[in-house]
Structure 1
Amino acid sequence: MRRPVPTRLAALALIVTGAAADAAPAIHLNQIGFLPDGPKRAVVTDPATTPLPWVVLDAGGGVVATGETVVTGDDAASGDHLHQVGFDRVTAPGTYRLRVGGTTSRPFAVAADLYAPLASAALNYFYQTRAGIAIEARHAGGKQWARAAGHPNEIVPCFSGADTKGNVWPGCNYTRNVTGGWYDAGDQGKYVVNGGISLWTLLNLYELNAARPPFADGTAKLPEAGNDINDLLDEARWEMDFLLAMQAPDGARAQVPVGPQPAGQKLTMTAIDASGMAHHKVADRNWTGIPTIPAEDREDRLLYPPTTAATLNLAATAAQGARVWKTIDPAYSTRCLEAAKRAYAAALRNPRVYAPETFTGSGSYGDTALGDEFYWATAELFATTGDAQILAALKRLPPFADPVSEPGWGGVAALGTITLATVPTALAPAEQAKQRALIVAAADRYVAEAAQTGYRLPYASLKYDWGSNSAILNRAMILGLAARFTSKPAYRTAEIDAMDYVLGRNPIDQSYVSGFGWKPLRNPHHRFWAHEKDPRLPGPPPGVVSGGPNSGASADGLGARLKGCAPQRCWRDSIDAYELNEVTINWNAPLLWIAADLAMAR
């Protein structure tokens, strides 16, 4: 298996510079390097108020480019006084260093295949987080990441009894076999609302490139490799099967809270027909400790009550799956579409069933603003069926004409817009052009924001939330789509700017991706990749992205101690920093999308 370029560069860096791996140079750049035809930017921290001379050196020490820095001054997001360097004219493949004043950077590559190893590793993350199957060393990259199957034969009942607020839940008269799917994050819960956006992103990557999709059969490390199915679809189906299994059977009844409920008080329960709804999650009754190997989890596993949000996530992804698998596996496509229609009807029948924050042992993923989920599901169903009545309903929903924002698990309207803008048969050309224009307008805003920031990041806010890297990567996806629609270089440049930040062009010189760069993520908040807590357990495999800086961390003890930090510095590489250093499927999905997009030849 080919070793990623970053690993080779990290070793070379220590030879050339003699610097310790945790040193903090004044030169901040993408630690894996640059594409030959792409932008090449570095950011320099220096108090000088006048330009500084710079040179780019090749592997033999020869000068290949020179210039002066552009002084951009004080930057509130980082707390730094900054200069910028641009050396786009360095296009020949090779290994280089950047010298600014008396400081020389670590080596970096210029290579056409720069992002292919990252794309492969980001996809392999999903295999390594599979539930219900043994993770094998030959697919995982080494015996340290092999583990026994977690939660095999997972046939589980509904939660019953009292929750943390004293609400009594009656349970249900059925069980579901929910074996499989992806563990959501550092815990071992499986959530439909987080699985939905993650699955959509993988399927969109395939559908958008259907003429030449990435990860042809046998190119990824998967047990299904060689089955004549694209490997990206093999991985996506592992989650699609799980989401389908989370659908309540016909005749299901449930006692649930309907509509907003007073915080911290007893819930008012209502009996509903839950037929076709999706259970919100399957998870442990109580939080497991760190570390806990999935196969050694001894907590009760339970289905938690159905919600409208989960039901709409199922409707949307199953409708999308019906399109994707239509010619590949017609029977499976039919099954997906039937599930999507049942879920959509169930959501229309029960439009305000929200997830209560009254359970322990797993995240709540509560959401009481579901207009975006209804729009997304309606868009996917229309794109799949072409139904005139669904189109009429779609056009009545505000997101059909509203400005687009980057998607997240609690804000999925952009997913519907992307589908309408990209599925060839979805809309008439003039209407599809309007959907594309909404995406391009969002990309214009992000390009403008990049120009306002010291680190050239398409994110100008000083508010960095939990999972800020996910917001940045999802913005990069919007930028990548705008680049496809228009062929304007500014959008691809800003897409790369976002990846540059995640891979090290930031004030703490941190590659937020494990295994890539000279200072990669090492200690995510995770119950198995927990080497920091137990030396017998591994650290993360390559290709796992941290949630990144969180300027609002308060419950996290480590994060709380960083109060007053400059937003981009509010981060620590610690397993205990769950609000700063968690890893999740819906953060790795856009990393995969962007890495694969940048790896594809234009």
Structure 2
Amino acid sequence: MIATAAFSAQAGNIMVNQMGYLPSGDKFAYVMSEVASDVQLVSVADGRVIAKLERADSVSLPDERQIAAIDFSRVTAPGWYQLVTKGGQSVPFPIEADVYEPLNERLVHALYLQRSGMAVKDRMTGMNRPQSHMQDGQIFRTDAFHKTGTQLDVVGGWYDAGDFGKYVATTTITVARLLEAYRQAPQLYAATKRPGSDKPAIIDESMYALNWLLKMQREDGAVYRKVSGASWPAKVGPWQDNQPRFIYGVSTPETAKFAATMAFAARVIKPYDTNLSRQYLSAAIHAVNYLAIQEEQYIDWQVGDDSGSGPYIANKFDTEPSLDTDVDDRLWAYAELYITTGQDKFKRAFQESYDPQWIDIFEWKNPTSMGVWHLLLAEEKGELREQLVNDLDQVASRYRQQSQQSPFRVANQRFIWGSNKMTAEAGILIAWADFAKGRIDNRSSVQSQMDYLLGANAFDMSFVTNSGTYSVRNLHHLYRIATGVSLPGYLVGGPNEMAQSGVAPKNMGMLSYVDSEKSYAVNEFAIDYNASLIGLIAVHHAYFNHY
């Protein structure tokens, strides 16, 4: 209990979603049980008591403190409010119809701030940095097409996280999640355009990354895995990282994720650029043709490949069964190619490989659920659709149950590296199952995942930088550390029981977190983290609109 307080100096007794709530949405807050039971909702404008609220039964945090939920969903009038007891008060929060739109814009814009291969001059944040990594990159190890040291043009793309590596695994996942958010709720993005662009910013960002992915495809359709230096960069700006940058070997998991993302992108991008749409689809088909020849999982990896970048394969920390196979990645590819081309051979390939064990949250480790979701949308009826709906709902029911039993109603109970992303994806999975069943029964569970990420947690803190009264201040990000520039709209990884950086407390579940720039294992941003929260906002929006 003492340790937890030390890691969150501002933590209060009443925790809320610090970005606020929708008038017709679900509204939960959380109170430490030692606080007096009389909780009042007060208008900030005039101090009036709007409602007297009751607490639900308490549940225990890992340090044995007791947390009780408060439901004030019946309050629908727009305005600014606080929850007040004799023992404390919450931060002020709004109830407004567009309460998440500025946050959503920041989350998308953060990806622009991660661009490599160009100068970034940003009016919103004041970031003004020169072009960087314009020599990417050299082939690291001789393969069938290129010798060691061969220079290829792989300039561009996003920096994956707080350092300067660029990865196909997370870029594909991020692009697909952005495109799905746009497909799900296009009205959320229509008005947000960059100067000089006729496209929504979320489409601009996706295309910037997609065009880098095209450069990562080898002549035979296989896709290289990543681009980085052989050593981890120093705490400098990206333009100061002058070490040689290498292109690391191909793999079937990345190639399958590439095929899926390109096939999906071909559908979404077509209204904006038909030529690029055709190019994306051609690249997807080229990739899946390579997979047809390379039937078993293949990863060109050797010791030393990860001396300056993340592995993004099975390792001592990432041990999920999905990393022992590429079936999950291929399933996603087959689904997207079937939907885009209409060719039955891809549907047959999906059915022949399908096993419900692969349905889980959408992430680089296992992307199957995105393919399942899109097949559900494409198949209006039939045995396949019925099976996929039931399989999806069965997995969602596990997350719903975990949400109901957890402090702060958190659906994800694996507090490992990137747990905040997993929390957002669990919320999306719950929503997908609802929509597939034609219901809106679990909207409050989806809301609760947003609430947790945006302040309704044991730290009384939003996990998104510059978003909320109390938000992450000490982001682990080399550019921020080197320059002191504030980077708004960055979702950090969150509680991680393994605490690999040796700073956060270990084995404390959702309490294994500290807001420290030294703690990269909990306080680093990654592009796919932001993408998952963007996707969560989109499905939440869909509950109140036609989904």
Q: Same fold (TM over 0.5)?
A: yes
Q: Which amino acid aligns with 1:394?
A: F
Instruction: Look up the match of 1:9.
Output: none
Instruction: Look up the match of 2:15.
Output: 28
Instruction: Look up the match of 1:336.
Output: 280
Q: SS at the partner of 1:529?
A: helix
Q: 1:215 aligns with which of 189, 197, 210?
A: 189
Gapped regions of structure 1 (runs ≥ 5): 1-20, 162-168, 250-274
Q: Distance in 1 between matches of 2:12 and 2:78?
A: 24
Structure 1 residue 403: Cα displacement: 6.6
Q: Say if 1:447 and 1:490, in contact at 8 Å, map to a contact too.
A: no
Please list the CA deviations of residues 504-538 of structure 1 after superposition, one character each: whole Å capped at 9, or x if unmatched: 111111210011112111222211022xxx4x431
> What is the number of residues matched between the two proteins?
523
Please list the CA deviations of residues 419-472 of structure 1 after superposition, one character each: whole Å capped at 9, or x if unmatched: 2122x3x5655533443333333333222211111221223x3x4100100110
Structure 1 residue 330: Cα displacement: 2.1
Provide closer, same or farther for how the CA distance between residues 428 and 84 of structure 1 changes in structure 2, counting only shifts above 3 A: closer
Instruction: Look up the match of 1:187.
Output: 163
Instruction: Look up the match of 2:290.
Output: 346
Q: SS at the partner of 1:365?
A: coil
Provide closer, same or farther for how the CA distance between residues 228 and 74 of structure 1 changes in structure 2, counting only shifts above 3 A: closer
Q: SS at the partner of 2:152?
A: strand
Q: Which TM-score applies when normalising by structure 2?
A: 0.90
Instruction: Look up the match of 1:520.
Output: 471
Provide closer, same or farther for how the CA distance between residues 403 and 182 of structure 1 changes in structure 2, counting only shifts above 3 A: closer
Structure 1 residue 201: Cα displacement: 0.4
Structure 1 residue 26: Cα displacement: 1.0
RMSD: 2.4
Q: Say if 2:11 and 2:461, in contact at 8 Å, map to a contact too.
A: no
- Pair member with larger Rg: 1
Instruction: Look up the match of 1:450.
Output: 403
Please list the CA deviations of residues 356-387 of structure 1 after superposition, one character each: whole Å capped at 9, or x if unmatched: 45321111111432110111111111111111
Q: Distance in 2 between matches of 1:110 and 1:412?
A: 35
Instruction: Look up the match of 1:70.
Output: 56
Provide closer, same or farther for how the CA distance between residues 578 and 173 of structure 1 changes in structure 2, counting only shifts above 3 A: closer
1:232 equivalent to 2:217? Answer no
Structure 1 residue 599: Cα displacement: 4.9
Structure 1 residue 342: Cα displacement: 1.2
Q: Distance in 1 between matches of 2:330 and 2:275?
A: 26
Q: Say if 1:113 and 1:599, in contact at 8 Å, map to a contact too.
A: no
Q: Which amino acid aligns with 2:390?
A: A
Q: SS at the partner of 1:324?
A: helix
Q: SS at the partner of 1:70?
A: strand
Structure 1 residue 215: Cα displacement: 1.7
Instruction: Look up the match of 2:253.
Output: 309
Q: Distance in 1 between matches of 2:358 and 2:239?
A: 45
Instruction: Look up the match of 2:317.
Output: none
Q: Which amino acid aligns with 2:421?
A: S
Q: SS at the partner of 1:177?
A: coil
Q: Say if 1:189 and 1:284, in contact at 8 Å, map to a contact too.
A: yes
Provide closer, same or farther for how the CA distance between residues 327 and 71 of structure 1 changes in structure 2, counting only shifts above 3 A: closer
Mapping for residues 95-494 of structure 1, pairs under 5 Å: 95-138=80-123, 141-143=124-126, 145-152=127-134, 154-160=135-141, 171-172=147-148, 174-209=150-185, 212-216=186-190, 219-220=192-193, 222=194, 225-249=195-219, 275-290=220-235, 292-350=236-294, 351-354=296-299, 355-359=301-305, 360-366=307-313, 367-399=323-355, 401-402=356-357, 404-422=359-377, 424=378, 428=381, 431-459=384-412, 461=413, 463-486=414-437, 488-494=439-445
Structure 1 residue 73: Cα displacement: 4.0
Please list the CA deviations of residues 119-139 of structure 1 after superposition, one character each: whole Å capped at 9, or x if unmatched: 10010011110111111122x
Instruction: Look up the match of 1:511.
Output: 462
Q: Distance in 1 between matches of 2:55 and 2:380?
A: 48
| Bigger helix fraction | 2
1:580 equivalent to 2:525? Answer no
Q: Distance in 2 between matches of 1:282 and 1:246?
A: 9
Structure 1 runs (4+) greater than 6 angstroms displaced: none
Q: Which amino acid aligns with 1:500?
A: D
Instruction: Look up the match of 1:545.
Output: 491
Identical columns (%): 29
Q: Say if 1:379 and 1:420, in contact at 8 Å, map to a contact too.
A: yes
Q: Bigger shift: 115-124 or 128-137? A: 128-137
Q: Distance in 2 between matches of 1:133 and 1:123?
A: 18
Q: Which TM-score applies when normalising by structure 1?
A: 0.82
Structure 1 residue 486: Cα displacement: 4.5
1:594 equivalent to 2:536? Answer yes
